[in-house]
Amino acid sequence: MALGLRDGAASRAVYLAFCAFVFVFLVAPILVIVPLSFNAEPYFTFTEGMLRLDPDAWSLRWYEALVDDVRWSRALVNSLGIGVAAALLATVLGTVAALGLSSPAMPLRRLVTGILISPMVIPVIIAAAGMFFFYSDLRLTQSHFGLILAHAALGTPFVVITVTATLSGFDRNLVRASQSLGAGPLTTFRRVQFPLIAPGVLSGALFAFAASFDEVVIVLFMGGLNQRTIPRQMWSGIREEISPTILAAATFLIAFALLFLFAVERLRSRTR
Amino acid sequence: MTTGNVGPPTRARLRAAGLTLPLVAFVGFSFLFPLGTMLSRSVYDPLVADTLPGTLALLEEWDGETLPGEPVFAAAARELETALDARLAGRLGGRVNRVASGMRTVIVRGARAAAEAPAATARETLIGGDPAWGEPATWRAIRAAGERFTARHYLRALDLDRDAGGSIVRQPEELRIYVPLLLRTLMVSGAVTLLCLLLGYPIAHLIANSPPRRARWLILLVLVPFWTSLLVRTTAWIVLLQTHGVLNSLLVALGIVADDGRIAMIYNMTGTLVAMTHVLLPFMVLPLYSVMRTIPPHFMRAASSLGANRRQSFLRVYWPLTLPGTAAGSLLVFILAIGYYITPALVGGSSGQLFSNMIAFHMQTSLNWGLAAALGGILFVVVGALYVVYDRLVGASSLKLG
């Protein structure tokens, strides 16, 4: 039970109050953005009218600005396109690799795992700088294809981790049973293994998509004007023309994050 | 290769390895190889050697004290002219400039003179372009910049320099930038890790000891920021903390702070600390939670029934049991904090910049790529060492997501 059961209610109250503070610290900053995005004034704070719930103080003007601005809609198209392609690539490669990694026969498992997880751990700034040189030698900077390759590399560790985790609960006797009934390795994978690990694969894909959808450093180094993504657009929004339009965009992204969170949580409860 | 009777059969091993091969190749090509070529730039810079091969070959015979002879001048004038035609003169000057400042203009003027105003001798041509060509120091700089492999960038990245005699000395105190910045980055990362532990430990405990339904909701509160875009969270802190932001306005409205006494909470180190703690806190809570969940509640009851007070049973029973989670979370947060770039760049102001921001500066603004690569190499070594510790302690494969 909780730490402070014996020494009475006072310390328990302090403990709960502290926990409440931490939860507020985690969530409140994100929630504050939502009402502020409906501000009728170009300020980043609540106006008196907003606090009085005066309808004139609230407006949709920043959402109109967001929808009207072709830079944002182009950024959305770029983000979705690059994200989906990178996630697909990462999911296929990552799932196949996870099948190998979780086989008991895998040699050099520790080393290979270390290599495959490294894109998640190595600071993006070093990777982005390296990719900038290497990809520009291949004329892949300022191209969607280059960004897809780079983002897919960043996304693969997530797929490897989630699929490996699903496979660790996988009963290998099912594979033997399937093979003893005459199924080849491909049929076994398609009919037995894949349906069972599908939720893990899908949540890995969602993670990989989110990793690309949220990535800005590599885009900053490698992307041109035509490869501006949503985070890249937010980056310029914060640095250059700070207007509540970015709050409207942020609100969209928050809704998006909640959607993803619930999708992944549902998938997780299915793998248990 | 035969495995004999120990271990699985060779065919199964090959199949497992074969399945991982495509991804290993992909990560190697798209991620690790670029990383390697970038790091190689920190010690390998062939531009000067490739542009002035003849000059450098002749300079090998030179004593380094007197002015070189006419053949050296002639070779230099010829190769500088070629460099100018290939639009390489500026970059060439930039490289030599890193050895001795002021050399950029000397090189470029020499190249222009060689192309546009040839005199009777190559010597007069170059000295006519810039009198510095008449000084041995210029030639020494060119010879030094002509080395293909150089430790120069690493020396600078470690605030070291070579004195006139060639031995390695520390830079004078006011010129030391990178080592203090690295130390500051390590300190900030340590502070962020400590803050995350302080804030994360109690809530991980609360979640682990809540009934399942409530625990699910509470863990969602940790996961919302985890899934929310980094840019959104950084924006949120700007909105909250800036001088005319929500928190300051609230303090003014409550009369705690005067309107002209608004607190600078962002665009400085405070902003970096607060925003980074917020961003990294879930990475601390999740491993802590997964360890705490496995600690049976009756352990604590047993401790207290044996006469331990609350402090004792926490320090002697609970805390030691949570150490694996504490170590995993702390190392992960520390590793991620050291390489942080976006948050400090956006909310750190001038005082809240970290090591990564310096790498970006040399990549994008000063265009001193060799130095950027050396700084990247240092960061890579630090993070790599911590990653190895993490792998030994926790196992990289046990990294959990959400």
Q: Out of A2, A93, A107, name the one closest to residue B13 (CB).
A: A107
The predicted-structure confidence for B112-157, as pLDDT tens digits, reads as follows: 998 887 888 888 899 988 999 989 989 988 988 888 888 888 988 9
**DSSP one-letter code for B257:** S
Specify the number of domains making up chain A. Answer: 2
Q: What is the pLDDT of residue B3?
A: 44
Q: In the block, which residue shows the tokens 């989906």?
A: A84
Helix H, strand E, coil C: the string for B51-95 is: HCHHHHHHHCCCCCCCCCCHHHHHHHHHHHHHHHHCCCHHHHHHH
Same domain for A39 and A79, yes or no, is no
* Residues of A with Cβ-Cβ distance to B198 under 8 angstroms: none
Specify the number of domains making up chain B. Answer: 2
* Residues of A with Cβ-Cβ distance to B242 under 8 angstroms: 44
| Crossing angle for the helix pair B355-364 and B178-208, to the nearest 10 degrees | 130
Same domain for A91 and A202, yes or no, is yes
Q: What is the pLDDT of residue A55?
A: 81
In a domain, B241, yes or no: yes
The residue of chain A nearest to residue B386, with distances taken between CA atoms, is A121
Q: What is the pLDDT of residue B330?
A: 94
In a domain, A146, yes or no: yes
Please name the residues between 69 and 128 in chain A that touch chain B, using a CB distance below 8 Å: 93-94, 96-97, 99-101, 103-110, 112-127
Which of B150, B165, B200 terminates a domain? The answer is: B150
Same domain for B234 and B355, yes or no, is yes
Q: Do A246 and A234 meet the contact criterion of CB atoms below 8 Å apart?
A: yes
Question: Residue B342 is part of a domain; what is its CATH number?
Answer: 1.10.3720.10
**Torsion angle of C-alpha atoms B2, B7, B11, B14, degrees rounded to 10:** -90
Q: What is the pLDDT of residue B352?
A: 84
Same domain for A57 and A74, yes or no, is no
The residue of chain A nearest to residue B364, with distances taken between CA atoms, is A221
Same domain for B106 and B194, yes or no, is no
Same domain for A194 and A222, yes or no, is yes
Q: In the block, which residue shows the tokens 């207007």?
A: A243
The predicted-structure confidence for A67-103, as pLDDT tens digits, reads as follows: 888 899 999 999 999 999 999 999 999 999 999 998 8
Same domain for A23 and A86, yes or no, is no
Per-residue pLDDT of chain A (272 residues; tens, 9 = 90+): 444 445 568 888 999 999 999 999 999 999 988 988 898 888 777 877 787 888 888 888 889 888 888 899 999 999 999 999 999 999 999 999 999 998 888 888 888 988 898 898 899 999 999 999 888 888 888 889 999 999 999 999 999 998 988 888 777 788 888 888 888 888 888 888 888 888 889 989 999 999 999 999 999 998 888 889 999 999 998 887 677 888 999 999 999 999 989 888 888 777 65
In a domain, B15, yes or no: no
Same domain for B233 and B190, yes or no, is yes
Q: Residue A50 sits in which domain range?
A: 8-61
In terms of Cα–Cα distance, which of B285, B174, B136 is closest to B225?
B285
In a domain, A147, yes or no: yes
Please name the residues between 141 and 200 in chain A that touch chain B, using a CB distance below 8 Å: 149-150, 152-154, 156-158, 160-162, 164-165
Rounded to two decimals, the ipTM of the complex is 0.86
Same domain for A105 and A32, yes or no, is no
Quote the CA–CA distance of B290 and B123 in Å, as a whole number: 75
Same domain for A20 and A154, yes or no, is no
- The alpha carbon of residue A48 is apart from the nearest alpha carbon of chain B, in Å, by 11
Question: Residue A234 is part of a domain; what is its CATH number?
Answer: 1.10.3720.10
Same domain for A191 and A230, yes or no, is yes
* Residues of A with Cβ-Cβ distance to B360 under 8 angstroms: 125
Same domain for B194 and B138, yes or no, is no
In a domain, A32, yes or no: yes
Same domain for B227 and B367, yes or no, is yes
Q: Out of A109, A165, A216, name the one closest to residue B231 (CB).
A: A216
In a domain, A89, yes or no: yes
Candidates A12, A16, A22, A102: best to mutate against B (most CBs of B within 10 A) is A22
Strands (E), B235-308: none
In a domain, B236, yes or no: yes
In a domain, A272, yes or no: no
Q: Out of B36, B228, B380, name the one closest to residue A30 (CB).
A: B228
Q: What is the pLDDT of residue B1?
A: 45
**DSSP one-letter code for B210:** S
Cβ-defined contact of B17 to A100 (cutoff 8 Å):
yes
Cβ-defined contact of A238 to B234 (cutoff 8 Å):
yes
In a domain, B110, yes or no: yes
Same domain for A26 and A96, yes or no, is no
Structure tokens at B87: 């639009």
* Residues of B with Cβ-Cβ distance to A2 under 8 angstroms: 205-206, 209
In a domain, A262, yes or no: no
Structure tokens at A72: 């944002």
Quote the CA–CA distance of B271 and B182 in Å, as a whole number: 19
Same domain for A91 and A123, yes or no, is yes
Please enumerate, as own/partner, the contacts of B261-267 that have beta carbons within 8 Å and a separation of 24 or more.
Answer: B265/B241, B266/B237, B266/B238, B266/B241, B266/B242, B266/B347, B266/B349, B267/B242, B267/B347, B267/B348, B267/B349, B267/B352
* Residues of B with Cβ-Cβ distance to A27 under 8 angstroms: 221, 224-225
Q: Residue B250 sits in which domain range?
A: 178-398
Bridge partners (DSSP) listed for residue A58:
A39
Q: What is the pTM of this model?
A: 0.85
Distinct helix (H) and strand (E) counts, chain B: 21, 2
In the three-class reduction of DSSP (H, G, I as helix; E, B as strand; rest coil), residue B267 is classed as coil
State the Cα angle at A252 between A246 and A257, rounded to 5°. Answer: 120
Same domain for A129 and A214, yes or no, is yes
- Scored b (16 or more CB within 10 A) or e, B280-311 reads bbbbbbbbbbbbbeebeeeebeebeeeebebe
Q: Do A123 and B338 meet the contact criterion of CB atoms below 8 Å apart?
A: yes
In a domain, A256, yes or no: no
In terms of Cα–Cα distance, which of A209, A201, A115, A205 is closest to A166?
A201
Same domain for B355 and B254, yes or no, is yes
- Which secondary-structure segment (H or E) carries B160? strand B160-162
Cβ-defined contact of B202 to A7 (cutoff 8 Å):
no
In the three-class reduction of DSSP (H, G, I as helix; E, B as strand; rest coil), residue B313 is classed as helix
Query: Which ranges of chain B have pLDDT less than 70?
Result: 1-8, 395-402
Same domain for A115 and A233, yes or no, is yes
- The alpha carbon of residue B342 is apart from the nearest alpha carbon of chain A, in Å, by 7
Q: What is the pLDDT of residue B146?
A: 87
In a domain, A270, yes or no: no
